[in-house]
Amino acid sequence: MEANQSFDTPVAMITYSHQGLTGLSQESQAFVQSHIIPAPFAYKERPILINNWEATYFDFKKDKLLELADEAQKVGIELFVLDDGWFGNRYDDNRALGDWTVNEEKLGGSLAELIQGIHDKGLQFGLWVEPEMISVDSDLYRAHPDWAIQVPGYEHTYSRNQLVLDFSNREVVDYIKQVLDDLLGNHEIDYIKWDMNRNITKLGNGKTYLETKMQSHAYILGLYEVVSYLTEKYDQVLFESCSGGGGRNDLGMMRYFPQVWASDNTDAMARLPIQYGSSYLYPTISMGAHVSAVPNHQMGRMTPLETRGHVAMMGNLGYELDLTSLPQEELDRIAAQVAHYKTIRPLVQFGKHYRLINPSQGSNQAAVQFTYQDRTVVTYVRVLSTVEEIEPTLKLKGLEEDALYRLEGTNQVYSGAELMYAGLTVVLPQGDFLSKQYVFVKK
């Protein structure tokens, strides 16, 4: 650096605690929730959602969406999210990214009419977008091929059949601002799922060597400009960041987007270490978690509905399956799950988080605890069935030793000392992928 020049370093968060890793995590979670997540959503309960993606993928019409919304409303779900496929010539993932005009043939009318139909059912409305991407088979690419990140003279490198728009380009930033301004300004949208399904490769748009070297940094600055503009202007909209799942689960994006989709893998057993790991730094209120169909679409695993529900209740509960195809018995159980989660939602989203058993260390089990005010919820999951092993004992944390705690739904009362030092013995039947949840109330 030359004399009298200055350089602003990136902002870093440094956390200290004398209470071990749990204390360190709780300090971090509290700081992120209070000072990084946008204030309107830092302490606002997240709605329970239904996302149509794994129910329909690209193959949907308005009638199917409204049927799905009807079933969602019946079971107590609060937010309907329309995922990929609502715009342009988007009938598969080979085309139309960048063409953010409503496909009215597919929706059976305008987007505003669909939103009104969802709102009339008492549900909020959410929408999927992927503004940083562009398809070669799109009107936008045909008009502006130079807007894609690329190295001149070389063939494109594709991922999910798409390219990345160059957010270091002022024209691109202004265009995306205008497109999303029109979308949000003219529609009553309550939630946006902002996706980014590939990494950036072949940086080469700079007019000089130095510009190209700076392109990735300039890209992020352009992105921050767009999301800052949108979240300030539409501060009532809940934005969720997604990047093939958790590829962009960072504090820079969380400054603008209060919620993160932790992984596109919705299998409950695969989710255990993902969600557990997220808790080391991020507050639970920032993490979306969904109950999906079985066999699971990523892993092919058959997991009981109860277990899928318990795992998703470790975060902000949502559903991603075809409610219209389920038997009434399963719909009744989902309705019970939704009703139950509403009673523990403040504990999960605002409470202190304690990790009891780490699923990432070959333990064949996982357990977490949330405590808020006078209530505590503990969730235990066993992955595979075992024989001739002692039942696990969960030693709770952060309770008052001399206080008494009643297990909800029973007359059983425990002292805080008993729950923390002797522990709670978990008894499960034989079988894989089973779980149990306990809710305690301090007397």
Active-site residue list: 195, 264
Output the CA torsion 157→163→169→170 (10° steps): 180
Output the CA torsion 95→65→240→196 (10° steps): -10
Kindly give, in sequence order, each residue whose CB lies less than 8 Å from that of residue 54, ignoring residues fewer than 6 positions away.
266, 292, 293, 297, 320, 321, 322
Burial class (CB in 10 A: 0-12, 13-18, 19+), 74: middle
Beta bridge partners of 80: 50, 125
Question: What whole-number distance in Å separates Cα of residue 439 and Cα of residue 443?
Answer: 13
Q: Specify whether the CB–CB gap between 316 and 289 falls below 8 A.
A: yes
Question: What whole-number distance in Å separates Cα of residue 353 and Cα of residue 300?
Answer: 31
The residue behind tokens 């997991």 is: 303
Output the CA torsion 279→281→284→290 (10° steps): -60
Q: Specify whether the CB–CB gap between 124 and 50 falls below 8 A.
A: no
Which amino acid appears at position 352 of this protein? K
CA-based torsion, 200, 205, 206, 212: positive or negative:
positive
Distances (CA, A) of 61 to 20, 56, 87, 103, 195: 53, 9, 12, 10, 22
Question: What whole-number distance in Å separates Cα of residue 393 and Cα of residue 71?
Answer: 39
37: tokens are: 């997540």
Which amino acid appears at position 365 of this protein? Q
The secondary structure element, H or E, covering residue 406 is strand 404-407
Output the CA torsion 370→371→376→382 (10° steps): 20
Q: How many residues does the chain have?
A: 443
What number of other Cβ atoms are within 10 A of residue 285's Cβ? 24
